[in-house]
Amino acid sequence: MNTNSKVLALKYRPQTFSDLIGQKVVAETITNSIKANKIPNAYVFTGIRGVGKTTVARIVAKSLNCLNGVDNICKDELCKNCESISNSNHIDVLEIDAASKTGVDDVRELIEFSRYRPTISKFKIFIIDEVHMLSKQAFNALLKTLEEPPAYLKFIFATTEIKKIPITVLSRCQRFDLTRIKSSELFNFLKKIKDKEKGNISDEALKLIVKISEGSVRDGLSLLDRALLTLDDNRELDFATAQKIFGYFDKSKLIEIFELILAGEEKKVINLYRNIYDQGIEPKNFINEFLELLYIIKNINIFDQESINFSLNDEEFSRIKKISNEINNEILILFWQFTIRTLGELDIVSNQHLSIEMFLIRLMHLNKKESNIQKIEKKNSPDNFEQKKIQNDFKNDTIDQIKNITQEKKKKPIAQINTKAEENILINSFDQLLIVCSKKKEIQLKYELENNVNLVNFEKNRIEVSFNDNLDKNFVKNLSTKLYEWTNERWIITFSKQKGQASVKEKEQNEKSKILINEKQTDTYKLVLKKFPDANLKDIILKEKNEN
């Protein structure tokens, strides 16, 4: 069945549960259920691309229909059923791509076909790939058949987006989450394939393939296939050549750039980046690699070589550990925020290469400013102008507007810049906040608080809210600024996942509805209807609350 003309992803596709890597628990559970004759009506397999969802679905179909039984499922010499299933032409095992058959009519046709018993095997099986692509009506049409199918009928679903499948469908299926393949397992697997194909590839190059694959076997095999095709004259494919083939650069160069940024060596940083860029590295790849480096630096003390997916050798690991012990966590957090913002900027600039150079230069200046702030803080001078300037760089970012407690301890709020409270106002409740907004004629802010905000919690100098899609993007900045002006104290505004209380507008509407219902029950309203049958009480005007 396997021929040299096949791509590796198809040539070495697992044919039995014993061939699978990284999914031992799934394989054992399904095998035991079949042996115990406790087979669910439907399976659903979910996970990232290339971890074996469709492959496992076919193996399950073989296990159910193999002429030799699940204990002796065909591996080398395939029975008639197993061979047909492997070749996707079995009359009783139908594979469907839900992306092309999304409608309710397609599902009805499927259900109609399911009424006929299997022709040559024990079970009739429908394998539906990317099942989340089915329409809502199509899912609804499946529900009854899924819950009480004929004994001979089984469904197997595969999806990368499990959240898009209605819970009513999921509750009728036995769910299996296929995990990413561990780096060591994928490395050993690819090494065996490389040896079988007689490829001359170094272990370091294979580790790079594992890293790029991100736990996907199919991605790993595709990259290995590509690497093998580049080999000639019996030369070994080394790490440096693999980097050029796959568009990745030496991690040690990125570490060197980071060290030079901390040292303020602007010219060396730019020259080193240009060398990396000349190798054909895309700016977005560079930024994503930089983000990964920041993450590793921050958490290096809880990592080992395996947990960082072969991305570092021993020397690089030691260098990063040294940087981590010397750099302040607040600088790393600032760098992270700034890098995330730059990643978004790349989509709107015409020359991404120049944008990366400016990004690196700004990081150096950001590091100098933050270092100066730390020195000044040690001298108990929190009102330093440079500190305010750093904060002002981020005041338009939502990520910096919603500050965490640790940052608040170290930084003054944005509102402190050239602002002094004329008088201190006590605000102890959400209602008081609305009253102050009215008195200060902050109409827009009051509108946002009344219409687009749901209060979750209100306590001294801290407000926790949820919000709807209409909330103004500058709400947090405006509210924190005004609160500081009015109270001369810093406030923390946080967003919550909880729904919170009804908004002021919602409460008003609810109150109106109750009054309308009550008024329509009064004798006066009934008397009006007798004289004017077409009359209708549609709205009322609530008396404004006293804000004095």
| 417 vs 252: CA distance, rounded Å | 41
On the question of pLDDT at 347 being above 60, the answer is yes
Cα 475 from Cα 454, distance rounded (Å): 13
> Given a cut of 80, is residue 165 above it in pLDDT?
yes
Q: Examine the pLDDT at 204 and tell me if it is beyond 90.
A: no
Helical (H) or strand (E) element with 181? none
235 shares its domain with 264: no
Question: CATH code at 72?
Answer: 3.40.50.300
Q: What CA–CA distance (Å, rounded) separates 105 from 266?
A: 64
Report the run of H or E that residue 464 belongs to, with start and end: strand 462-467
Please tell me the predicted confidence (pLDDT) of residue 374. 55
What pLDDT is attached to residue 371? 58
Q: Which of 207, 226, 246 is the last residue of a domain?
A: 246
Q: Which pLDDT belongs to residue 319?
A: 87
In this structure, the answer to whether residues 279 and 213 fall within a common structural domain is: no
421 found inside a domain: no
What pLDDT does residue 131 have?
92
Would you say residue 409 lies in a domain? no
Q: Of 97-106, 427-436, 516-525, which has the strongest mean pLDDT?
A: 427-436
Mark whether 258 and 280 lie in a shared domain: yes
Q: Are residues 106 and 221 part of one domain?
A: no
Which two structure tokens, joined as six digits, stand for 388?
């305010």
Average pLDDT, whole number, for the chain?
81
Beta bridge partners of 129: 97, 158
Instruction: Indicate whether 443 belongs to any domain.
Output: no
Q: Check residue 201 and report its DSSP letter.
A: B
Decide if pLDDT at 37 tops 50: yes
One-letter amino acid of 268: K
- Is the domain of 166 the same as that of 228? no
> Nearest 5 degrees, angle CA 336-CA 340-CA 343?
140
Residue 534 inside a domain? The answer is no
Based on the domain organization, do 27 and 54 belong to the same domain? Answer: yes
Asked if residue 228 and residue 140 are part of one domain, the reply reads no
The CATH number linked to 388 is 1.20.272.10
Question: What pLDDT was estimated at residue 524?
Answer: 80
**265 and 239 within one domain:** no
Model pTM score: 0.58
Let me know if residue 407 belongs to a domain.
no
Domain count along the chain: 3
- Specify whether 279 is located in the same domain as 190: no
pLDDT-based confidence at 28, cuts 50/70/90?
A: very high
Neighbours of 420 (CB within 10 A): 8
Say yes or no: 39 and 82 in one domain: yes
| Continuous segment of H or E residues that includes residue 422 | none
Contacting residues for 82 by C-beta, under 8 A, at least 6 apart:
15, 62, 65, 66, 67, 73, 74
Which residues form the domain of 212? 183-246
Q: For the domain that residue 216 is a member of, what is the CATH number?
A: 1.10.8.60
Are 230 and 119 in the same domain?
A: no
Among candidate residues 336, 361, 394, the one where a domain is terminated: 394
- The answer to whether position 412 is within a domain reads no
Chosen domain end from 177, 208, 225: 177
Is 374 inside a domain boundary?
yes
Q: Are residues 155 and 223 in the same domain?
A: no
Beta strand pairing status for 174-177 and 153-159?
unpaired
C-alpha distance across the termini of the chain, in Å: 87
Q: Is residue 187 one of the residues assigned to a domain?
A: yes
Whether 521 has a pLDDT exceeding 90, the answer reads: no
Using pLDDT thresholds of 50, 70 and 90, give the confidence band for residue 5.
low
